[in-house]
Amino acid sequence: MKTILLIGASRGIGFELASQYIADGWRVIATARSDEGLERLKALGAQTLRLDVANPASNSGLSWQLDGEKIDLAIYVAGVVDRETTASPPTREKFDLLMHTNAMGPMMVLPQIAPMLLDKKGVFAVISSHFGSLTLTQTSMAVLYRMSKVALNMYIRCAQHDFPEISCVALHPGWVQTDMGGASAPLTPEQSVSSMRKTLERIRTQPRPEDRGAFLNHDGSTLPW
């Protein structure tokens, strides 16, 4: 049985990932920080771990919770958004929350789970955003969120050099109808996740050099840095 680790799976895209992978016969290990989130995931049939990705002390304990595991695919889904422009200076608390959750979290997770991915020559994916593309930036909206995703993309680009036996990839899920994306988004969570799963399965089973350390759309097309 194939095993997937989902970091931040209690709602939205993460919960839909858990649902689809369980339905497809995968063993799903999913993290959440709240009792409510953990119970929702357990009801799906996932094995659950409590983890607060914004808390370095909580994050640093992931490896012992997963001791002895072998993982085919790990996806860092957790993320928070702020929509302010450069006209509004951020508070230190807001800056720390976005950078800890969106950028520092994956930096703490990957070194802990890389040995668990090595045996399967697995994939480490992060849910990024086209907002993290310098080339595609045409507005100052959500500047702090954009900065955190640029940092995340750079981490994936660099991590591929340190972990050459696994595939590291940043994925843009599209504009999705979640709490973050809003009801007017063109993609449902089901559509976004189904598309990302096809891309990840291709990378997992038929890895190509150009996919390693790449920034990809949910459908597998390359996004500009």
Give residue 184's pLDDT: 78
Comparing C-alpha atoms, which of 44, 43, 3 is closest to residue 23? 44
Give residue 178's pLDDT: 76
**Interatomic CA distance for residues 45 and 26, integer angstroms:** 10
Q: What is the pLDDT along the chain (225 residues), one digit of tens a residue?
A: 999 999 999 999 999 999 999 999 999 999 999 999 999 999 999 999 999 988 888 888 899 999 999 999 999 999 999 999 999 899 999 999 999 999 999 999 999 999 999 989 999 999 999 999 999 999 999 999 999 999 999 999 999 999 999 999 999 998 888 777 677 777 888 999 999 999 999 999 999 999 999 999 999 999 999
0.85 surpassed by pTM? yes
Residues constituting the chain? 225
Comparing C-alpha atoms, which of 23, 18, 74 is closest to residue 48? 18
The domains found in the chain, sorted by start residue, are 3-217 (3.40.50.720)
Asked if 169 and 127 touch (Cβ cutoff 8 Å), the reply is no
> Cα Rg for the chain, rounded, in angstroms?
16
Task: Please list the residues that pair with 215 across neighbouring strands.
Answer: 170
Please state at what angle helix 92-99 crosses helix 143-162, rounded to 10 degrees: 40
